[in-house]
């Protein structure tokens, strides 16, 4: 059963899992706005984009 599921995902070109809430473009914008702590704070960025501070922290520290 697992093999059939994996084969179906490969055939359709999907990876599975939950899609990201923020696009790669938005992630790049967040990094620019944060600017190594010199720009907006993680708290302000989380409020602006409607995500948790932990999400912003993961983006900044990746």
Question: Does the global pTM surpass 0.75?
Answer: no
pLDDT recorded at residue 19: 85
Region for 18 from its dihedrals, namely left if φ exceeds 0, alpha if ψ lies in -120 to 50, beta otherwise: beta
Mind listing the pLDDT tens digit for each residue in 2-54? 788 778 777 777 777 788 889 999 999 999 999 888 899 999 999 999 999 99
| Maximum C-alpha span of the chain | 51
pLDDT recorded at residue 42: 95
pLDDT recorded at residue 29: 95
**Taking the domains of the chain in order of start, what are their residue ranges?**
19-62
């Amino acid at each position: 059963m697992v093999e059939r599921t994996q084969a179906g995902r490969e055939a359709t070109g999907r990876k599975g899992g939950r899609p990201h809430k923020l696009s790669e473009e938005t992630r790049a914008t967040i990094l620019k706005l944060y600017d190594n702590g010199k720009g907006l704070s993680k708290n302000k960025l989380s409020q602006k984009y409607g995500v948790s501070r932990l999400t912003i922290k993961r983006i900044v520290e990746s």
